[in-house]
Structure 1
Amino acid sequence: MPRALPRCELHDLPVRAQVPVRVATWLLDRPRLGDTPSVKRFAGRLLKQPARQGVVQAQSRLGQMLCRDCGNTRDRRIGVELLRQAARAGDGHAQLELGRLYCQPRTLEPEQARHWLELAALQGHEEARVLLKRL
């Protein structure tokens, strides 16, 4: 299991260290570009080191990518751990993503889903409120 790293916000880093996360985020947020497998691989490589260093935004985005786009169990397990670290650090997107994961039939854990969705809802995520009503 990956070790817990100190929490680090993107804006706390020197500008040079922020660049890979900003570039990866920009690439992934482009409508057609962000859906391309080669772009996702490149963005994943850019996010890997900052995520290891504890950058919450990098952990959240890389965790989402690994959980959604990777077919193997090992990558999904790493993705869930990265999401957990980011969610514990207060990242609302990671909290919402964990709530979604725990609502899925193959990983159904209603208590965990409720916990993360409640935290995401407190941060203003409307989808979390909708999912909470379904639980």
Structure 2
Amino acid sequence: MALWLLDSQRLGQTKSVKRIAGRILKQPALEGVVEAQSRLGRLLCHDCDSQRDRRIGFELLRQAARAGDRQAQLELGQLYCQGQHQELTKARHWLEQAAAQGSVEASRLLQRLVAKR
């Protein structure tokens, strides 16, 4: 249900629907469901104003990425390329993982990252 809400073009963009989806995803994410960790992590990292929520989201993404979730790996790679989390070695690692699973976007970002050095 939560994934359907988030994937809905019209519904998935509203704050109230994202909040509901986040509540639905919370328990499965805590129980280790990788897709729930990935989606909730992305939601918390991008749509929350609270530093605490973003930290939790980052940790959920890390767990999902370690479990092999390509989208979480891509997201972590992107986050490690920016601002407060900038660690280019880790960015490269996660982008390489996502690219190895067929992520075209990760491959593109990885080429850009390598060109910067």
Structure 1 and Structure 2 fold alike (TM over 0.5):
yes
Count of aligned residue pairs for this structure pair? 113
Q: Sequence identity of aligned pairs in percent?
A: 69
Corresponding residue of 1:70? 48
Q: Which moved more, 1:98-107 or 1:23-32?
A: 98-107
Of 43, 46, 66, which aligns to 2:24?
46
Unaligned runs of at least 5 residues, structure 1: 1-22
Instruction: Give the number of the structure whose residues are more often helix, by fraction.
Output: 2
1:11-38 CA deviation, whole Å, 9 max, x = no partner? xxxxxxxxxxxx1001000112101000
Whichever residue aligns with residue 56 of structure 1, its letter is: V
Distance, in Å, in 1 between the alignment partners of 2:31 and 2:90 is 26
Whether 1:81 and 2:64 are equivalent positions in the alignment is no
TM-score (structure 1 length as normaliser): 0.82
Corresponding residue of 2:91? 113
TM-superposed deviation, 1:105 = 2.7
Moved >3 Å (runs of 4+):
none
1:15-73 CA deviation, whole Å, 9 max, x = no partner? xxxxxxxx100100011210100000000000000000000000000000000001111
- Compute the RMSD of aligned alpha carbons: 0.7
Distance, in Å, in 1 between the alignment partners of 2:49 and 2:80 is 18
Whichever residue aligns with residue 34 of structure 1, its letter is: G
TM-superposed deviation, 1:134 = 1.2
TM-superposed deviation, 1:103 = 0.9
Distance, in Å, in 2 between the alignment partners of 1:107 and 1:53 is 26
Whether 1:123 and 2:109 are equivalent positions in the alignment is no
Distance, in Å, in 2 between the alignment partners of 1:71 and 1:29 is 22
Corresponding residue of 2:82? 104
* Secondary structure in 1 matching 2:102: coil
TM-superposed deviation, 1:89 = 0.4
